[in-house]
Copies of this chain bind each other. A is one copy, B any other.
Amino acid sequence: MLIAYRGVMSIPVCVLPQNDPHIDDAVTSADGELVDLDQARVLAWLGGPDGFPELPDAVEWVALPSAGIEGFMRAGVIDDKRIWTNASGFYADNVAEHALALLLAGLRQIHTAARTRWDKKRIDTSVRSLHGSTVMVLGAGGIGKALIPRLSACGATALAVNHSGRHVDGAQETVTWKDLADVWARVDHVVIAAPATEETHHILDADALAALPDHAWIVNIARGTLIDQPALIDALRAGTIAGAALDVTDPEPPADDDPLFSLDNVIVTPHVANPSSTLTENLAPWIAENLRRFAGREQLLSVVEPGSAY
C-alpha cells in the first residue's frame, strides 16, 4: 500500500498511542505518510506493553520505543508475523553518560556532600578516584560500548563482559558471562549495562558481592532484576562494598521505606538515564533512519531477534 507523496512512493506510518511532534516530523522528513492503523505498513509505538493494539496483517514493521523489551515479551505482543525493532543503542550516549555520572558521584561523594554541610572530615577521607581503577562493564552492547571510551578518557581501565568473549574495542580485556566468578575480585567497580534475561537475572548476587573489593561501587542503569537487591542491601549495610548508585531498582519504584532510601552509601535516581521528557526527541532521528531503510528495503537497525529476549 504505497501512497504517492511529494512525487515519491511514501510509506504509510501510524504513530500510537498518540501522535508526537518529534516522531511525526521524523516520519514526514523521511517521506513517510501519517495514517491510521488500518492503513499502516508501519507502527511507531510510543507506549509500554499496556494498551498495545491488535495489529492488522498489513503492518510489516513495529518500532518499539525502549531498549529493554522484556515487558513486551511477557505481555505476548511480539509475534513472528512481522519485523520488530527496539531502541537498543539509540539512547546509548545518554545512558552511558548517566552511568558515568553515577559512578563519579559515588566515588567523589557528591551524594554525601548533597546531604551534609561542608562535612570535610568525613568526605575528604572517603573520596576515591576513577583514574587508575578497573571498571567491569557488564554487557557490552550499545551502552557498554559508549561507556568504555568515557572511562578510558577518565584514566580507568575497562573490563568488558559479553556472550562471545570477542574483544570489545577500548576494553583492556573481554571475558564471557561464564568467566564472571573468577573476575569479580579483579575489578574495582561494576557498571551493569546488560539486558534483563533469564541468564542475567540476579547476575550480581551474594557470591559476586562477597568477591568484590570493599572499595567497590556498583552502578546499575539496566534493569533492577540483574541485582539480588536484598543481598546488595546486606553488603551495603555490612560495608563489604563501598556503595551502589542505581537508576533502576527491583521493584520500581521502591517502597517509600525501602532501605535504599536511607542508606548513606546509596544513590537512587528515578529511572531517568534516558529521560522520558526527551525520549521522543532522541528517538526521532532513528525512526527517520529506519524508515528510509524500510523504504529502500535495507536491513533495519536494532531488529529484535526472534526467540531472543532482547
User: CA A102 – CA B93 in complex, angstroms?
Assistant: 19
| A117 and B269 in contact, given A107-B101, A150-B153 (Cβ under 8 angstroms) | no
Structural contact, B270 and A118, CB atoms closer than 8 A? yes
How many copies of the shown chain assemble into the complex?
A: 2
List which A267-307 residues lie within 8 A (CB) of chain B: 267-272, 275-278
A201 → chain B closest CB, angstroms: 23
Structural contact, A270 and B104, CB atoms closer than 8 A? no
Q: Which of A8-16, A81-89, A124-132, A136-144 contacts B (4 or more CB under 8 A)?
A: A124-132
User: CA A78 – CA B267 in complex, angstroms?
Assistant: 45
A49 at the interface (CB under 8 A from B): no
Task: Name the residue in A102, A124, A261 with the highest tally of chain B Cβ atoms < 10 Å from its Cβ.
Answer: A124
A74 at the interface (CB under 8 A from B): no
Q: Which of A39-47, A108-116, A171-179, A191-199 contacts B (4 or more CB under 8 A)?
A: A108-116
User: CA A208 – CA B104 in complex, angstroms?
Assistant: 29
User: CA A149 – CA B118 in complex, angstroms?
Assistant: 30
A152 → chain B closest CB, angstroms: 7
User: Scoring A residues 252 to 269 as 1 if CB is less than 8 Å from chain B, else 0, what string do you get?
Assistant: 011010000100000111
A231 at the interface (CB under 8 A from B): no
A63 → chain B closest CB, angstroms: 22
Within the complex, which residue of B110, B124, B254, B270 is in contact with A275, where a contact is CB–CB below 8 Å? Answer: B124
Please, could you name 5 A-B residue pairs with CB atoms under 8 Å apart, sorted by A? A111-B114, A118-B268, A124-B276, A124-B277, A150-B153
Please list the residues of chain A having a beta carbon within 8 angstroms of any beta carbon in chain B.
Answer: 93-94, 97-98, 100-102, 104-105, 107-111, 113-115, 117-120, 123-125, 127, 129-131, 149-150, 152-155, 253-254, 256, 261, 267-272, 275-278
